[in-house]
């Protein structure tokens, strides 16, 4: 991009994506209260229609709480494969507009359309064209924010919802930002907002007029970050490739568990799931983290660095089991257990061979298991100790 040329960044965010996809086959539910999620009390809301959101229902809210807020809502179990298929089609449309697409999740992305203006017209015309294609080709609504930076484009799309578009031109940026509450800034969570309120700062304009050294003393590097955002400073480019920072899996039990043996078996199960996903991504992990959530929803996390990066289930499980044993006696029953592989590296360059031939045998065995699973995906193989696992409510596989 030529020096001094103003960028045109779009943030496209699908509206209530999971709900919108489900309504494609349930048009009679359009305009009604709809929640996507498992109906069990231990579930969380994956997505809610705007009719439910008006009542206070939010994503990640416990289903029991959501149903108290919207007792007449229709609950639809998620269809993850369908969401992935539509996500791929959405991203294909984006890539037909510009090669500079940074996918943030299944339903949102940044697009740098600076180089597409000569071919497709002004940014606002490109934004409307994208929204029209999503609606006519896929039947899905989307909101678009347009600005000269990623941060401001994201702010604009949030305020364009639902099913709208907001353009914030470069010369309008500061005037617009300074009308917003300070919570609109990236990095202002509950704790930071509390500190800012104690300082008498509730708006972006007030934060922008606060000396940097004052913000730095109270908030450290976060204070400087927020100060720059308050002045519209965000030079980050659209990244066309995003490295996964971690790969994990977790399980929420239908009934809280005290039994150590059941928890160890779940750790073994999750370790194999995470290892399989690492190998599919051609990654190795340098760190393994274990997460436990207790009956009162308090959460504990511990991590351990591996002797060498690995994607072998035995290495992941061994580290997680070591963390589990180190915790000692648990204060409460466990409602959720999770394993996460962190500090990822490419498998080709990060794998260290073991001098123990048994390790190579296990790696070869796991590679064979991966091949069989790819041909028989309905759970053809699993460790023998998992054959008698009880039925539990599946919640989530996560990667970030």
Q: What is the pLDDT along the chain (400 residues), one digit of tens a residue?
A: 444 578 999 999 999 999 999 999 999 999 999 999 988 767 789 999 999 999 999 988 889 999 999 999 999 999 888 998 999 999 999 999 999 999 988 899 999 999 999 999 999 999 999 999 999 999 999 999 999 999 999 999 999 999 999 999 999 999 999 999 999 998 888 888 999 999 999 999 999 999 999 999 999 888 999 999 999 999 999 988 766 678 998 888 878 888 999 999 999 999 999 998 898 888 899 999 999 988 877 888 999 999 989 999 999 999 999 999 998 887 888 989 999 999 998 876 544 444 344 444 455 555 555 554 445 444 445 555 544 444 443 444 444 4
Please report, for the chain, the start and end positions of each structural domain, with discontinuous segments joined by +. 1-169, 178-230, 246-399
Q: Is 107 annotated as a binding residue?
A: yes
3-state helix, strand, coil in the chain (%, to 5): 45, 20, 35
**pLDDT at position 388, please?**
47
CA distance 22 to 15: 12
Alpha helical stretches, state H, the chain: 17-23, 50-53, 63-69, 80-97, 117-120, 123-133, 150-160, 173-177, 190-198, 204-208, 212-219, 221-230, 260-280, 313-327, 347-350, 357-375
Q: Name, in order, each residue with C-beta under 8 angstroms of 64's C-beta and a sequence gap of 6 or more.
A: 41
Overall CATH class of domain 178-230: mainly alpha
Q: Name, in order, each residue with C-beta under 8 angstroms of 72's C-beta and a sequence gap of 6 or more.
A: 33
Task: Classify the C-alpha dihedral 155-157-160-165 as positive or negative.
Answer: positive
Q: Is 13 annotated as a binding residue?
A: yes
Q: 82 and 90 in contact (C-beta within 8 Å)?
A: no
**pLDDT at position 95, please?**
96
397, containing H or E segment: strand 396-399
Residue of 189, 190, 1, 21 whose CA lies nearest to 89:
21
User: 């949102």: which residue's tokens?
Assistant: 108
* Within this chain, domains 178-230 and 246-399 share the same CATH topology: no
* Phi/psi at 112 (5° precision): -95, 110
* Phi/psi at 47 (5° precision): -160, 150
Residues taking part in catalysis: 108
**pLDDT at position 299, please?**
85
Six token digits for residue 170: 């470069």
* Phi/psi at 145 (5° precision): -115, 140
Six token digits for residue 112: 């740098």
Overall CATH class of domain 246-399: alpha beta
Give the relative orientation of helices 80-97 and 123-133 as an angle to the nearest 10 degrees.
150
CATH fold of 1-169, please?
Answer: Alpha-Beta Plaits (3.30.70)
pLDDT in tens, 14-58: 999 999 999 999 999 999 999 999 887 677 899 999 999 999 999
Angle at 247 between CA 76 and CA 145, to 5 degrees: 60
């Amino acid at each position: 991009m030529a020096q001094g040329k103003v960028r045109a960044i779009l943030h496209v965010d699908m509206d209530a994506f999971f709900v919108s996809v489900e309504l494609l086959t349930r048009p009679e539910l359009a305009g009604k209260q709809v929640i996507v999620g498992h109906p069990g009390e231990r579930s969380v809301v994956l997505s809610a229609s705007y009719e439910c959101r008006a009542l206070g229902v939010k994503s990640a809210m416990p289903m029991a709480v959501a149903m108290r807020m919207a007792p007449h809502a229709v609950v639809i179990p998620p269809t993850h494969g369908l969401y992935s298929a539509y996500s791929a089609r959405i991203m294909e449309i984006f890539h037909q507009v510009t090669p500079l697409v940074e996918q943030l999740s299944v339903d949102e992305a940044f697009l740098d359309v600076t180089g597409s203006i000569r071919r497709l017209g002004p940014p606002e015309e490109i934004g409307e064209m994208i929204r029209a294609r999503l609606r006519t080709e896929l039947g899905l609504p989307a909101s678009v924010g347009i600005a000269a930076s990623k941060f401001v484009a994201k702010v604009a799309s949030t305020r364009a919802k639902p099913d709208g578009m907001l353009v914030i031109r470069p010369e309008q940026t500061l005037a617009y930002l300074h009308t917003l509450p300070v919570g609109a800034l990236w990095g202002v969570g509950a704790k930071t907002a509390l500190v800012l309120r104690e300082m008498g700062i509730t708006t972006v304009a007030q934060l922008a007029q606060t000396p940097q050294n004052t913000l730095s003393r109270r908030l450290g590097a976060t204070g400087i970050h927020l100060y720059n955002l308050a002045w519209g400073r965000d030079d980050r480019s659209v990244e066309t490739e995003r490295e996964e920072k971690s790969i994990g899996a977790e399980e929420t039990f239908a009934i809280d568990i005290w039994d150590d043996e059941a928890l160890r078996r779940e750790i073994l199960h999750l370790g194999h799931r995470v290892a399989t996903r690492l190998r599919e991504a051609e990654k190795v992990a340098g760190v393994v983290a274990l997460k436990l959530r207790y009956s009162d929803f308090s959460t504990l996390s511990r991590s351990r660095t591996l002797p060498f990066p690995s994607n072998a289930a035995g290495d992941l499980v061994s580290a997680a089991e070591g963390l589990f044993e180190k915790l000692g006696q648990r204060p409460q029953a466990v409602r959720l257990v999770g394993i996460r592989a962190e500090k990822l590296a490419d498998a080709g360059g990060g794998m260290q061979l073991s001098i123990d031939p048994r390790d190579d045998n296990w790696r070869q065995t796991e590679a064979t298991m991966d091949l069989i699973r790819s041909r028989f995906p309905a759970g053809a193989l699993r460790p023998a100790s998992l054959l008698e696992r009880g039925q539990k409510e599946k919640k989530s596989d996560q990667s970030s």
